[in-house]
Amino acid sequence: MFRVNKAAFRLQHRLCRQISTSSPLRTTSVTLKALGLDSYNLGVYNGQWGGNGDVIETTNPATGEVLGAVQQASAREVDETIGKAADAARYWRTVPAPKRGEVVRQMRNAIADKIEPLGRLVALEMGKIMAEGVGEVQEYVDVADYAVGLSRSLNGKVLPSERAGHAMLEVWNPIGTVGVISAFNFPVAVYGWNSAISLVCGNSVVWKGAPTTSLTSVAVTKILAEVLEANALPGALCALVCGGAETGEQLASDRRIDLLSFTGSTKVGREVALAVQARFGRSLLELGGNNAVIVHADADIDLAVRAVLFAAVGTAGQRCTTARRLLLHDSIHDAFLERLVAAYAQIKVGDPLQPGVLCGPLHTRASIAAYEQGIADVVAQGGRILYGGKVLGDRPGNFVEPTVTSISHDAPVVQREIFAPILHTIRYTNLDEAIAWNNEVAQGLSSSLFTSSPEHIFRWIGPEGSDCGIVNVNIPTNGAEIG
């Protein structure tokens, strides 16, 4: 016989349960279970789940914890999946566009129903903070809303003909099968943008996500597969082939992929473009961005400091639209930098699931090496470190200090994109000079001017202004607009 102190036992049980609930392992297991995932998962879907390639473990970049494993696609499975997707496209193109839109609407709702666990998985696997993870899933929801509307407004044109009694019609028809290769930094949204539009336009989609975010790829595909099954549609409409560079090369070289959408580095994008062009295929590339913010003398300084801070530090500098260059007018340069550095000192770096954290980890150890090389190059090329510049090696995970530098606009390190939270600050004397320096880098994606002058605004957005694809005024370089 033995006695149990019931009060102490109940207290111990509550404490153990609280510790268990808040532990990283508990968080991971709850998240995986909510999304139908396990510690081991198949990474090929074409109507059936499979996987005969290598087994890849994905890790939490904040802790180094192994989150789970995904069995990648073999070359034969990639080939079979592309064939099944092509067959599915031939059926799907006969379905009226509004009915295709109805299926995408159901997918939108299914993704929205899982927005919290899916956003948490993005935070765990990619490393961005929880608010950004949920926000990324919301981007998929938003573009699906847009796609549903588009399904009832896929307009063509009626043009006058030179021939009596004739008219010319411009009609948009499906392409066929769209391949999507997405990057680690937006493991949900980039696929969502591509797939929602492709589906309402009558195409099937074959997706290869980044190997380091394979769990997220599987989770999203499981959600979509349930919708397809409920509508008695071919699963290969939303096919998945998890894999590495070899899988990407296979998609790029296969003639059955009628359009290949690639998001990633400029280096790899160039290789993808050449491979697709070699077979006279079509490609859609979203590559690097060496984005600048210009803060002119008449800017709202409070607004600009807040905008620059999040544009440069959010997602630990791992967005294609991250602010990497900050051009400050001579008259406000010193005062602005004083305030910005003070704001940087308040940034909380840490576990992206913890409240108050603004800057999570870099995604991989290779990213840390790129950060360290960038800092070394700044110093070697005559620049100064105004804040940060160190790897945070006193903790597990891939953490670095968000960094502010002062350097010449034409330094080689400024001319290249470093996928890390490094912000180069540069002094200028007039707006013409600032616009020229904004335009001088090879990567033109996003740009922003802070000013209160309508004259400056219209110059900035006009033919003599920014040469970037996204031209902002009084807002940061980052952000997701649907339209």
Among 421, 393, 389, 426, which Cα is nearest to 410's? 426
Helices (H), 345-446: 365-380, 412-415, 431-439
Q: What letter represents residue 36's amino acid? A: G
251: its two tokens: 């998609």
DSSP-assigned beta bridge partners for residue 158:
169
Residue with structure tokens 């473990």? Answer: 57
CA dihedral 125, 130, 131, 133 (to 10 degrees): 20
Pairing of strands 157-160, 40-42: unpaired
Distances in Å between the alpha carbon of 402 and those of 103, 345, 360, 368, 415? 43, 9, 10, 12, 19
Active site residue 320: yes
Q: Where are the beta strands (DSSP E) in 232-381?
A: 238-241, 259-263, 282-286, 291-295, 323-329
Q: How far apart are the first and last CA of the chain?
A: 73
> One of 286, 401, 417, 468 is an active-site residue; which one?
286
Q: What letter represents residue 402's amino acid? A: P
Q: How far apart are CA 450 and CA 473, in angstroms?
A: 6
> One of 201, 238, 242, 320 is an active-site residue; which one?
320
Q: How far apart are CA 250 and CA 262, in angstroms?
A: 13
Answer yes or no: are the C-beta atoms of 222 and 256 closer than 8 Å.
Answer: no
| Number of neighbours of residue 29 by Cβ within 10 angstroms | 17
| Number of neighbours of residue 335 by Cβ within 10 angstroms | 11
Answer yes or no: are the C-beta atoms of 460 and 449 closer than 8 Å.
Answer: yes
Answer yes or no: are the C-beta atoms of 20 and 26 closer than 8 Å.
Answer: yes
What are the residues whose beta carbons fall under 8 Å from the beta carbon of 120, sequence distance 6 or more?
Answer: 27, 31, 130, 133, 134, 353
CB-count exposure of residue 278 (10 Å: 0-12, 13-18, 19+)? exposed
* Degrees, nearest 5: CA angle 256-258-262: 110
Which value, in Å, is the radius of gyration of the alpha carbons in the chain?
25
Known catalytic residues are 286, 320
